Structure 1
Amino acid sequence: MEQKSCLRVAILISLFAISCGRELKSAHKDNLPVYNHTLAMTLVEYASAVYLKDLTKLVTWTCSRCGDLTEGFEMIELIVDVEHCLQGFVGVAKNLNAIVIAFRGSASIMNWIEDLYWKQLDLKYPGMPDAMVHHGFYSSYHETTVRPGVLHAVKRAKELYGDINIMVTGHSMGGAMAAFCALDLAVNQKIQNVQVMTFGQPRIGNTAFTSYYSQLVPNTIRVTNYHDMVPHLPPYYPHLTEKTYRHFPREVWLHGNGSTTSSYPVEKVCDGSGEDPNCSRSVAGTSIFEHFTYYEVKIISGTPGSCKIVMDPRVADYSTQDLAGNFVLYRDPSAASVVEVKTESSTPSNFI
């Protein structure tokens, strides 16, 4: 089944291969963000951790991935949207002096790839005429329990730690959600100190949208990897003027250095167009494997597409749940009573 899905993706990419044509211009600020390798290595660990299924270890930050560059992270809220198989968390990284928001990618890449050529909608944000976005990515953040959970957690984090910076990250569809979250914080919540770094993110809007986005959330970097197929989707048609999907700047492309003795990739900082022809667009997007591994970090553990989670029943005392089964786990770093359970006694629960 997995081989068939990969074949279908490859066929889609072949059918919608992009031919040369007139480039569209996307307005953006000249002061593009500066790429920081250490920050990228840190945020990719958060983007990987949010995929974990053991919620007890995740909310207490005692998981196998909850160390190294992310050691000392204080979880505020862990949001689990059972209906849509979505997961995200908000907490504070003291070594970054920042609130970190991370989103998990889609459980099934094929779910949105099969629809992304027909579902584009007008973005009804103030002052953004002609901006259009991918319906599925937009809805995953705006029309689920994820958005209210994140906004509530950001408010709590600011009450506890003050007006510190916010860093938003995610992988794959989680990167798309991270971008919409950052724009929401900047436009609707009037928060200015928002920084975004995503990994393997697909395109999420048209040229008008990317122009507005790059002005409102200029401190954004998209990391792409080798022949990762997802950043090539939805396809970019340079000869179309309105509805073609387009990436916003700035891209950092990880690619081979031509050496047989070194496994470390070259980190190419791309231009400010969002569609640098010398970066990921210079190669065919044909790899699923390179979508799941960034900076030698395996992003997804276990079987992709599974929404099974594991949680100690006692953790439910620190959660709220709606009628659909969606829930939020809370952890208050300022209080003496926090979640303290023996993670080895966790009881599995299949939600989807």
Structure 2
Amino acid sequence: MRTYLYLLSLPAAALCAVLPRQTPSALAAADISSFKPFTFFASAAYCPPSTTKTWTCGGDCDALADFIPRATGGDGTVVQFWFVGYHPPLDSIVVAHQGTNPDKILPVVVDADAFLEDLDPEMFPGLPDGVKAHQGFQDAHALTASDVKTAVLDTMSQFNTSNIVLSSHSLGAAISMLDALYLKLNLPEGTNFKFVGYGTPRVGNQAFADFVDSQLPDLTRINNKQDPVPIVPGRFLGFRHPSGEVHISSSGQFLSCDTQDDTATGCIDDTEGNIFDSSLGDHSGPYDGVVIGNCDDDT
């Protein structure tokens, strides 16, 4: 652990080659507002299945009153909470996984399981050579993958839609990124995928990031200010983010960053060179006014 923290403290320029730097563009107010439903879904995933099953999880559920839950699961300890359902305003199936607190996820991403391993070819058929992902995240994903796929297929059939949204926070976002790729490779051709992750850690290597970019072009990773989670595991360990970063600056501006692990001024890899520049409190938000993870269920 001490070695990892030392390496994480090194400047980014000392760890890898500097990528092209371009000025990120600021998102318009309408674009920022369009993320709000996904933020509420990611937050609702922290609520126990007893409440997401009946969609009585308090403010997050109230904000998405039209949502129709179809399947829920997890125990919040060994298996992260998760739910699948249909959201009529988006004409989409929504899949969300529970995240965790930053003081719990940081040890997960830098300790024993923070190494890259091949993905299971039976779960991820047709992968190019060299695609690897964080072993701990793979293990967490495998616990729910089959149940989620079954629920998604049932919901697709019932509501006659081919649109799938995956929206989660923290550890849940890492699981959801693997879920998105897993479902993309195992569901009928023509299924449409949208991924919105909040405080997403790095999940895989360069080949993984490239493959995700090719398979999931509608992918957004929203990082809040000085959140430490999106900069781990380190790039010096071979990890790489796919494209799609939106960074919320210290002033609250939403900046769209163009490249994988973008080092342009204002993107998180520029403003936060190591975890000692970070703030654990930023991991939960707020994301356009929403603090993720404070389930206020009615039970």
TM-score (norm 2): 0.83
Q: What pairs up with 1:242-281 in 2 under 5 angstroms?
A: 244-257=238-251, 265-278=252-265, 279-281=267-269
Q: In the TM superposition, what is the alpha-carbon distance from 1:183 to its structure 2 partner?
A: 0.4
Q: Distance in 2 between matches of 1:177 and 1:99?
A: 17
SS at match of 2:164: strand
2:222 match = 223
Q: Distance in 2 between matches of 1:203 and 1:101?
A: 20
Q: In the TM superposition, what is the alpha-carbon distance from 1:187 to its structure 2 partner?
A: 1.3
Q: Deviations over 1:224-280 (max 9, x none)?
A: 01000000101123xxxxx610110110001123xxxxxxx1010111334343200
- CA 1:10/1:298 → structure 2, altered by over 3 Å: closer, same or farther? farther
1:199 match = 198
- The answer to whether the 8 A contact 2:257-2:264 is kept is no
1:296 match = 289
| Greater helix content | 2
RMSD across aligned positions (CA): 2.8
- CA 1:135/1:10 → structure 2, altered by over 3 Å: closer, same or farther? closer
Q: Distance in 2 between matches of 1:244 and 1:162?
A: 41
Match of 1:287 among 275, 279, 291: 279
Q: Which runs of 4+ in 1 moved over 4 A?
A: 8-14
Match of 1:40 among 30, 35, 42: 35
Match of 2:179 among 181, 186, 190: 181
2:153 match = 155
Q: In the TM superposition, what is the alpha-carbon distance from 1:62 to its structure 2 partner?
A: 2.0
- The answer to whether the 8 A contact 2:196-2:221 is kept is yes
Q: Distance in 2 between matches of 1:249 and 1:88?
A: 25
Structure 2 residues without counterparts, runs of 5 or longer: 21-27
- The answer to whether the 8 A contact 2:114-2:136 is kept is no
Q: Distance in 2 between matches of 1:36 and 1:151?
A: 30
Q: In the TM superposition, what is the alpha-carbon distance from 1:120 to its structure 2 partner?
A: 1.3
Q: Deviations over 1:12-44 (max 9, x none)?
A: 67545433442479xxxxxxxx99323311101
Q: Distance in 1 between matches of 2:211 and 2:256?
A: 22
Q: Distance in 2 between matches of 1:236 and 1:97?
A: 37
Q: Report which stretch shifted further, 146-155 or 10-19.
A: 10-19
Q: Distance in 2 between matches of 1:196 and 1:37?
A: 15
- CA 1:152/1:45 → structure 2, altered by over 3 Å: closer, same or farther? same
Is structure 2 residue 109 aligned with structure 1 residue 113? yes
TM-score (norm 1): 0.71
Is structure 2 residue 74 aligned with structure 1 residue 80? yes
Is structure 2 residue 92 aligned with structure 1 residue 122? no
Q: Distance in 1 between matches of 2:162 and 2:89?
A: 12
Q: In the TM superposition, what is the alpha-carbon distance from 1:295 to its structure 2 partner?
A: 2.3
Between Structure 1 and Structure 2, whose CA radius of gyration is higher? 1
- The answer to whether the 8 A contact 2:114-2:233 is kept is no
Q: What pairs up with 1:24-39 in 2 under 5 angstroms?
A: 36-39=31-34
